[in-house]
Amino acid sequence: MCPRRISLACALLAAAASGAAFAQASAAFPCKIVKFVVPYPPGGSSDLLARMLVPGMNKLLDTTVVVENKAGAVGNIGTAQVSAAESDGCTWLLGNSSNIVVSRNLYKLTHDPVEYLKPVAEAAAVPMVLYVNANLPVKTFDEFIALLRKNPGKYSYASPGSGSTHQLLTEMMKIEFGLQAEHIPYKGSGPAIQDVIAGHVAFAFEGTSAIAPHVAGGKVKALATTGAARSNVLSTVPTMKELGHPKFVATNWYGVFVPAKTPDALVARLNAGLRQVVKSPEIVESLRKLDSRASDLDVAGFARFARFVQEEIPFWKSLADQTGVKVD
């Protein structure tokens, strides 16, 4: 597993092209109502991020952006809906690494998101954290690995769904350290976290922002994070890189997508608008609390984000092939 950004990092911030962007933003937007599809249930990271962006985009575009949660099949249902929508700029998707570049390797999809969607801008990127049930008799990552090696097959792990980045990352860890643990897929991160807390499953990977409150409350123990640097919200937890495992540098990325035939001029306008919105102090602070970090896409237009998505494709295909993950 090569060092990657599986990325929720605040991108979208280019002020360099602001002159043209402001001129475009002031013109009437072609849609009176924009449907912003979140392919997951309300309350998760994707939903929260989309709703963060809406007020600023409403004001900037002088339109009404409405979030629509279209959950199911690990994000594939909502993703397919946007893939098949009109290319008029009136339907957006809050996509992430799972439903854009992972699922295509594991599911038989009616619409390949890489082919049927056009990247607009990265919205954020957040590292993952390996966490365990509070009563598991380990305090460190090394103790955790030793425990699983001594008890092959005794402990199971949770994920928010088959084919998720969480599952692939765990399966890669199993291969790397010679572990045996059964995969228990859930319908979202919330139920997975609750079953780790309850002790029905022993451990899981999750975004740092989602698990940090449970760590602070003593409900679970965090053993390691996958960021290139220590987490903003779990600063006492070592990174996998610090522990001598640089293959596990990974962040889960999120971005805005539109149907593939949407005109480039309109996509450029949305890209500039999103970058303007994310510059606001309120959103910068909100993203920091979500453990979002700046990335090299901060000053990039939509073409750079499109290249980034293309760069992710072979990595995730290779990881799916190496782990042999099958949809449960």
Tell me the pLDDT tens digit for each residue of 117-128: 999 998 888 899
pLDDT band at 27 (very low <50, low <70, confident <90, very high): low
Residue appearing with tokens 């805005």: 256
- Say if residues 54 and 78 touch (Cβ distance below 8 Å): no
DSSP bridge pairs for 220: 133
Phi (first) and psi of residue 263, to 5 degrees: -60, 140
Q: What is the DSSP string of 15-80?
A: -TTHHHHHHHHHSPPS-SEEEEEESS-TTSHHHHHHHHHHHHHHHHHTSEEEEEE---GGGHHHHH
Give the mean pLDDT of the chain. 86
**The tokens 């692939």 sit on which residue?**
168
pLDDT in tens, 150-164: 999 999 999 988 888
Q: Band of the pLDDT at 167, cuts 50, 70, 90?
A: very high
pLDDT of residue 142: 98
CA atoms within 13 A on the CB side of 266: 18
Per residue in 234-285, pLDDT (tens digit) is: 999 999 999 999 989 888 889 999 999 999 999 999 998 888 888 788 888 8
| Domains of the chain from N-terminus onward | 18-123+253-323 (3.40.190.150), 127-248 (3.40.190.10)
Mean pLDDT of 170-199: 94
pLDDT of residue 284: 83
Q: Any idea what the Cα angle at residue 200 is, between residues 198 and 206, rounded to 5°?
A: 75
pLDDT confidence tier of residue 22, bands split at 50, 70 and 90: very low
pLDDT 10s digits, 284-318? 888 887 787 655 455 567 888 899 899 888 888 88
DSSP state of 104: G
Residue 294's pLDDT is 56
Residue 117 near residue 257 (C-beta atoms within 8 A) = yes
- pLDDT, mean of residues 179-197: 92
DSSP 151: S
Of 217, 213, 241, 216, the residue nearest 227 (C-alpha): 241
**Token pair listed for 278:** 């994310």
* pLDDT value at 23 more than 70: no
Per the CB < 8 A criterion, the answer to whether 166 and 128 are in contact is yes
Question: What SS3 state is found at 132?
Answer: strand
Residue range 49-62, pLDDT digits in tens: 899 999 999 998 98
pLDDT digits (tens, 9 = 90+) for 205-217: 998 888 999 999 9
- The separation between the first and the last C-alpha atoms of the chain, rounded to the nearest angstrom, is 23
**Is residue 125 a contact partner of residue 153, using CB atoms and an 8 Å limit?**
no
Q: What burial class does residue 117 get, using C-beta atoms within 10 Å of its C-beta: 0-12 exposed, 13-18 middle, 19+ buried? A: buried
> Is the alpha carbon torsion for 11, 289, 212, 50 positive or negative?
negative
d(C-alpha 104, C-alpha 92), whole Å: 19
